[in-house]
Structure 1
Amino acid sequence: MKRTIIPGARTGRVRIPASKSQAHRLLICAALGEEKTEVVCDGISADIAATAKCLSALGAKIEEMETGFLVSPIKKVPEGRCDLYCGESGSTLRFLLPIVGALGAQAVFHREGRLPQRPLAPLDSVLKEHGMTLREDGDLLYCSGQLIGGNYTIAGNVSSQYISGLLMALPLLIRDSLLMVSGPLESAAYVAMTEDALQLSKLTIPKMGAMWAIPGQQRCHLPKRTVVEGDWSNTAFFLCMGALSKEGVTVEGLNLQSSQGDRGVLDVLRRFGAEVTEHGDAVTVRRGALHGVMIDAAPIPDLIPVLSVVASVAEGETRVENAYRLRLKESDRLKSTANLLRALGGQVEEKEDGLVITGVPALHGGAVETQNDHRLAMSAATAACAATGEITVDNDGCVAKSYPRFWEDFSSLKGEGL
């Protein structure tokens, strides 16, 4: 559905929903446990629902409640083919692919949107080397075979999700395993989130440098009631709105010591010149004298669209580097972010692996094509806070992938000075 957004800075308070990244991990750990677990999750996005649905197809019993999920773990994988509908969720696919092998399930992943075009290498080769059979047929990915323990080596500069999936799967195997990461590890904070979830589940996965020694025959033991913390990735949109507002925006419901990599938004906004205040479980951001900065996209790729909006009205030049992986997201996010800024009067040069953005005094109104990308739609809403004319987005419903109540929370903010 098309949405028209009134221009102007916003101010107010928002309570952020549960972390999509942590919810994936905790649901998986709960399903791989031995006892029933309540996973408290404030807000269930399409991606989280996809993981829950896939785990149910693998034999878990997952009851959706008002507060989140009640998870009865997998006791036995269903006989025959398991159809796993992962939608457009890359996390669901990449986390569960090695787990399907560890469980010895015969499964078919049903992929939607751009997900069939997003890479699986080198994870697919590693899984084949250790007992799995994988076959792609259009949007379908057929999986069978029993994953076996042993020595696993995978590159660290492609996707942290590959490493996280293996870390969650290998403890299930009969034999012990050694997981080694070659080269630099990008998005290391996301691997740290997985380690936190496994530690909370009382699994033993000792780490030695770039290697994990993983004993087999382990089961997860999450606390019987586990709460998913607030989502820093979605928080970033409102904090960036605050950076465009003299009165500021406050986001509540956060873990200020979280291992979520997108907590790095605070550092980038401070470097832009915004005023950032942390207090209790909340952060307030207000506009300062914004100026251009250099942004390394490798640890915070999901933040680049919305940080580019801030950069578009920051004095001077902002350079976004190490961002090639953004071309493999729900849209080609380097191209779609550049198109968003240009459509609204921003000055941006698209590079092979980054962006060069020159700040302008203000954006003007215009039409934004989201390409069904949730982060583009929410970035357009942020851009309205720095615009002088109305902005339209062509598909406001795409935010359901990660933040179903985004427009409701956005509408709760008031215009600055009102």
Structure 2
Amino acid sequence: MEVTIKPVRTLRGEVQVPGDKSISHRAVMLGALADGETKIENFLFGADCLSTIRVMRGLGVRITTVGKRVVVQGRGLEGLQEPDNVLDAGNSGTTMRLVAGILAGNPFFSVLTGDGSLRRRPMKRVIRPLTDMGAQIAARAGGAYAPLAIKGGGLRAVEYTSPVGSAQVKSAILLAGLFADGPTTVIEPAQSRDHTERMLRYFGARVEAAGTRVTVWGKPDLRGQKITVPGDISSAMFFLVAGATVPGADLVVHNVGVNPTRTGALDVLTQMGAEIELLNPKEINGEPVADIRVRGSRLTGTEIGGSIIPYLIDELPVLAVAAAVAEGETVVQDAAELRHKETDRIAAVVQVLRSMNADIEERPDGFIIRGGRRLRGAVCDSFGDHRMAMSAAVAGLTAYGETTVKGAECVKISYPNFFDTLNSISVS
């Protein structure tokens, strides 16, 4: 599918973005491991989260959907069933890596695979700690890539120092730790998003966290809960960058999750000069939530690197759009993890923005953008990556001439109605 984006005069209105993808995944998984019923409101019915539902159903979990609600009939920590077929995680790295942690704790055999893109994403980072805990895992290419064949059960608690700051790696180990006796600890080089820890506590697990160190105690009594999923800040960032870069824009994005381990992009955009306000702050099922107002602003370049990278890794493509529009130089470094996403996002960002007349230089772990040039419309490939498709669309709002996004159907992974929402706030 191709979508054409025309430059807009300004942006006006109110937006409600879909439910948070990370929280939607975790609510289904923990609901499945809990005793009793878990009701999830504002669930994200994107392709990735539907992959999690499909996989958990394959493990014998009864899951029903009505409107934006998902109801999970929990089977308890020891209640999952050996699947009678291969489990397909689709394009979802979160599904594959977190479910691998759950399967590692269960005393049966399973095979976990995904689409062509997911089968090229690195899996040693979760296989290594899970085998250290006692799971038997075989994988393609010498244990590097899916499919994963897992024989779980009999896990032992460990203290694992992760070489990467990754919420998926940390979460896989913590979920496996639920099945071990005693405390399982993960130590990261930089703290990653903490949705798993928060939700584990909400379901009744004992979790302690201090800085980059997180510990979960095994064999908890998990109980089904009512979950309201806040709006996904990663989805909100496309509108926040759009609002900051389009002259005269005034947007409010409602009920956005503002977990401090996810707001790095918001901090950077503010640092660049964006006029942003957080309104009506509150807490919902252990997660901070607020409305966010953004207005058109004059942006300046900045440096992005170091410990903030895990807090904004998914938002770097759209922040690159802000940097291209801003005055001055923006340097992104320490972000080599971008090369291991749905596509090589460093190479993809460089190709898309360069085609639109941006001055951008590729680096092994990021890029340098010398902003201030007027972007021009171009034909942009999405690379099958939802975040690249939406970033290209945001860039097209301020470009001279039309921008065409090829392969735009990939937005269904996280934001099926993205283009409709964008049209609804555009003022020609």
Q: Quick check: TM above 0.5?
A: yes
Deviations 1:308-335 (A, max 9, x none): 0011011111111111000011110000
Corresponding residue SS for 2:149: strand
Structure 1 residues 260, 164: CA separation in 2 closer, same or farther (over 3 Å shift)?
A: farther
Q: 2:344 aligns with which of 332, 335, 342?
A: 332
Worse-matched range after superposition: 153-162 or 112-121: 153-162
Native 8 Å contact 1:47 1:89 kept in 2: yes
Q: For residue 190 of structure 2, what is the aligned residue in structure 1?
A: 185
Q: Give distance in 2, aligned partners of 1:79 and 1:10.
A: 51
Gaps of 5+ in 1: none
Matched, 1:2 2:7: no
Corresponding residue SS for 2:81: coil
Native 8 Å contact 2:165 2:189 kept in 1: no
Q: For residue 125 of structure 1, what is the aligned residue in structure 2?
A: 128
* Pairing 1:85-124 to 2, within 5 Å after superposition: 85-124=88-127
Deviations 1:138-176 (A, max 9, x none): 752211131412223131525221111221231233x21
Q: For residue 387 of structure 2, what is the aligned residue in structure 1?
A: 375
Q: For residue 203 of structure 1, what is the aligned residue in structure 2?
A: 205
Structure 1 residues 237, 154: CA separation in 2 closer, same or farther (over 3 Å shift)?
A: same
Matched, 1:393 2:405: yes
Q: For residue 143 of structure 1, what is the aligned residue in structure 2?
A: 150
Q: For residue 50 of structure 2, what is the aligned residue in structure 1?
A: 49
Q: For residue 169 of structure 1, what is the aligned residue in structure 2?
A: 176
> How far 1:77 moved relative to its partner?
2.8
Native 8 Å contact 1:11 1:249 kept in 2: yes
Q: For residue 64 of structure 2, what is the aligned residue in structure 1?
A: 63
Matched, 1:159 2:169: no
* Pairing 1:211-360 to 2, within 5 Å after superposition: 211-223=213-225, 225-255=226-256, 258-259=258-259, 261-280=261-280, 281-296=290-305, 297-360=309-372
Q: For residue 22 of structure 1, what is the aligned residue in structure 2?
A: 23
Q: For residue 287 of structure 2, what is the aligned residue in structure 1?
A: none
Gaps of 5+ in 2: 281-289
> How far 1:404 moved relative to its partner?
0.9
Q: Give distance in 1, aligned partners of 2:82 and 2:52.
A: 20
Structure 1 residues 277, 213: CA separation in 2 closer, same or farther (over 3 Å shift)?
A: closer
Identity of aligned residues (%): 30
> How far 1:213 moved relative to its partner?
4.4
Corresponding residue SS for 1:326: helix
Q: For residue 285 of structure 2, what is the aligned residue in structure 1?
A: none
Deviations 1:302-360 (A, max 9, x none): 11110100110111111111110000111100000010101111110001111100113
Q: Give distance in 1, aligned partners of 2:250 and 2:51.
A: 31
Worse-matched range after superposition: 4-13 or 110-119: 4-13
Count matched residues: 409
Worse-matched range after superposition: 331-340 or 162-171: 162-171
Native 8 Å contact 2:113 2:119 kept in 1: no
> What is the one-letter code of the residue matched to 1:371?
F
Native 8 Å contact 1:26 1:197 kept in 2: yes
TM normalised by structure 2 equals 0.90
